Amino acid sequence: MSATATKAPASRGLPVPRGLVWTVLRLHRTALWIWTGFVVLTAALLLWLYGPGAAHTQHLLDTFGYAGVQEDAWTSGIIGSPFSGAYNDLFQDPGSLLDIASFAVAVFAAGSLTARELENGTARLAWTQSVTPARWLAARLAVPALLVTAGTGLLVVLYRMLWDAHANLLLAGIGPRAVYFSVGPATVAAPLLGLAVGAFAGLALRRTLPALAVAGLVQGAVITFRANSWPFQGSHQQPGLSAHSRAITAAGTRIPDPGCYLSRPCLARHQIVGFTREYLPSPDYWPRQLLETGVMLAATAILVAAAFGVLRRRATS
């Protein structure tokens, strides 16, 4: 693989990346396509949950109550189908996918982005030509950071839109709380931290496999720590996210949920025609979100500075 910059295509009147930016995009085009596919497919899942999936689940809620939503009767209203709990589970999946994405970003930055080029010598060859080590690293961090921020930012906005519109369809428990804390800026900061972790590991170790292992372990620990430790929003330390369930009568009155669900005589006796659930957000949500985001961005800045320091020593040795 040549260390010289790949020539950018003719612009034909359109702005196109040039120089190091084009080189990074060209060398890592497979990763770019994978990331684009991840963002598109996850966005499609979120939009499906917002539209057709929510409409179907709302019908189940109005017909069977939350017992019907839990069983999630996808075929002919038959309770106990093979898709039991599908909407409730799928609602939580984007949050898990975003955690996996931050892990994948760390591994990519450690291996393909830094350590592999140091290991096979192409980075040092580039430094002897027209590219300084600092510019080389800056391009390899800035381009993925921009793409990761744009992709995760879009997904978090869609996730927040889904939560605001259809959180009432979720079953009460830990699941909605985990989703609730995946729809804020901290979820955008997490993969940026992964990028810094991977870049530092790759530059410090200069060997692909050890760098992959260390970056994966560190980012996995970050994900676990976020899920279980204050000020991060873990399932055990989350502030109250209470749910108020009500049944709706034919007269439009909301009464305490009697738990009729599948009993049509009970539904008729109470004149129940539907159900509703409202989640009351925690008052300290934003302070905790901003604190978590600030901690991760500060750690990212420290690791990036340390990566440049390691690179400076490597380049002069």
pLDDT digits (tens, 9 = 90+) for 53-84: 899 888 877 777 666 666 654 443 434 433 34
DSSP state of 110: I
Higher pLDDT, 192 or 264: 192
Lowest model confidence (mean pLDDT) among 11-20, 69-78, 107-116: 69-78
This prediction has a pTM of 0.81
**Could you check whether the bond before residue 231 is cis, i.e. omega within 30 degrees of 0?**
yes
pLDDT higher than 70, residue 107: yes
User: 164 burial class (0-12, 13-18, 19+ CB within 10 angstroms)?
Assistant: exposed
Residues in Cβ contact with 70 at an 8 Å cutoff, skipping those fewer than 6 apart? 84, 85, 88, 171
15 pLDDT band, cuts 50/70/90, is low
Q: Is 296 or 235 the better-scoring residue by pLDDT?
A: 296
pLDDT (mean) for 222-243: 61
The helix, strand and coil proportions of the chain, stated in percent and rounded to the nearest 5, come to 70, 5, 25
Q: What pLDDT is attached to residue 241?
A: 60
How many percent of the chain have pLDDT more than 70? 78
Q: Is 102 left (phi over 0), alpha (psi -120 to 50) or beta?
A: alpha
Across residues 265-287, what is the average pLDDT? 76
| 78 or 181, higher pLDDT | 181
Does residue 133 register a pLDDT over 90? Answer: no
